[in-house]
Amino acid sequence: MDISFIMITNQKYEDVAKRAVDSIKAAIATYPKKYTYEILICSPYPLTDIAEENRNKLIGSVHDIGEENVFWIKDGEEGVSGNGIAAYNHGYAWSLGDYIFVLNDDHLIDARSLRAIDFLESELFEDRKYKVTSIGANKGVNIYNSTLIPVMPYVEPYRCLIMGFPVYQRKTIRNYLGDNIFNPRFKHHYADNWLPFWLHHMGEPPIICDDTPLYGFLGPGLSTTHNDDYDFDVFDDLTRRFSEGDHNYA
């Protein structure tokens, strides 16, 4: 498998995530290179209608929903807390792709996003240990014209872009990130701040794959934000620990 697209949702599939899925399929179909792929959607609810009495039987594996290349993974199995970060990591655990794309259910992509693979295979990353970038950026994005992660007091000042939609080479996740796409201490937010912080302070400042815009279609209001204080405290603690010599990503 070339690519695993990992998405989470708690909305009705046909109303929200299906639109994002269709954009992925269109991007794959129009891109000059022909990639094999899977779309793994971690959700507490089946993506298609399943009789109530059968739902509890669908635990412990990836479920074919009858739509080509799209699979449902139940969020709620042992080890999954129902939080967004846990669900993303759970989806990754079932994935097969050499490259991992992290996407939201309410954002559309186009074929330009697939350039992230060539980007990670380019000379720019040839001598880098960590093969990870992020899509969702407009053309010409840089540290002076976009949102930065907060500067924390425990390390020297830095300027790092948030990596909101990471794209990883699987070997990097397996060999250096504790086999997690996001640090599992987070619940919903700031995991995309910790990733660029960690990369920067491990000696490889993050590089964003620009001109790979994503298109949100629901607007604000659905994002879970009541854990922001908790997640920021985790970010604060991780940066402090890093300054004290704990350089583990997860």
Residues 86 and 182: their CA atoms lie apart, in Å, by 8
153-208 pLDDT per residue, tens: 999 999 999 999 999 999 999 999 999 999 999 999 999 999 999 999 999 999 99
Is residue 43 in some structural domain?
yes
43-75 pLDDT per residue, tens: 988 888 754 545 555 555 678 888 999 999 988
Residues 78 and 206: their CA atoms lie apart, in Å, by 33
Residues 230 and 131: their CA atoms lie apart, in Å, by 29
pLDDT at 227: 87
Of 143-147, 149-153, 201-205, 228-232, the range with the lowest mean pLDDT is 143-147
- What's the rounded mean pLDDT across residues 24-33? 97
Number of domains in the chain: 1
Is residue 250 in some structural domain?
no
Is residue 35 in some structural domain?
yes
Q: Which two tokens stand for residue 242?
A: 């890093």
Domain hosting residue 100, numbered range: 3-243
| Residue, of 250 and 224, whose pLDDT is higher | 250
CATH of the domain at 125: 3.90.550.10
CA within 13 Å, CB half, 132? 31
Is residue 108 in some structural domain?
yes
Is residue 248 in some structural domain?
no
Q: Which pTM was predicted?
A: 0.93
pLDDT at 107: 95
Is residue 249 in some structural domain?
no
Q: What is the 3-state secondary structure (H, E, C) of the chain?
A: CCEEEEEECCCCCCCCHHHHHHHHHHHHHHCCCCCCEEEEEEECCCCCCCCHHHHCCCCCCEEECCCCCEEEEECCCCCCCCCHHHHHHHHHHCCCCCEEEEEECCEECCHHHHHHHHHHCCHHHCCCCCCEEEECCCCCCCCCCCCECCCCCCCCCCCCECCCEEEEEHHHHHHHCCCCCCCCCCCCCCHHHHHHHHHHHCCCCCCCCCCCCCEECCCCCCCCCCCHHHHHHHHHHHHHHHHCCCCCCC
